[in-house]
Amino acid sequence: MSKAKDIINGWSNYFTGGDQTTKEEAKRRAEICATCPASKYGLHTALLPDFTLSEIQGMYCSKEEGGCGCPLSPAVRSAEHQCPKNRW
């Protein structure tokens, strides 16, 4: 999957919820991200509430900590997105 399709897939699943496999994998990833030093609070909370993965609501993967800079809500829901630190 290309980077553009990866991003679109993540946002699509953010808005639609995705299928059961996506939901379960997103939950697994979110629990890992929530305890990762690279996860930081950004300005996404007000614009992009996350009602099903509250542990990463408003968080992004910080480039300053070696992350990808992505908002985590779509990142964990993207089928092909890879954690830059290989944690999931």
Q: What gap in Å lies between CA 82 and CA 4, rounded to an integer?
A: 14
Q: How far apart are CA 36 and CA 75, in angstroms?
A: 14
Looking at 33, 44, 57, 77, which residue binds ligand SF4 (CB under 6 A)? Answer: 33
Q: Is 87 in the site for ligand SF4 (CB under 6 A)?
A: yes
Judged by CB under 6 A, the residue of 13, 36, 73, 74 near ligand SF4 is 36
Q: Are 17 and 74 in contact (CB under 8 A)?
A: no
Asked if 28 is part of the footprint of ligand SF4 (rule: CB under 6 A), the reply reads no
Q: Is 53 in the site for ligand SF4 (CB under 6 A)?
A: no
Choose, by CB under 6 A, the member of 6, 14, 53, 61 that binds ligand SF4.
Answer: 61
Q: List the structure tokens of 36.
A: 């990762």
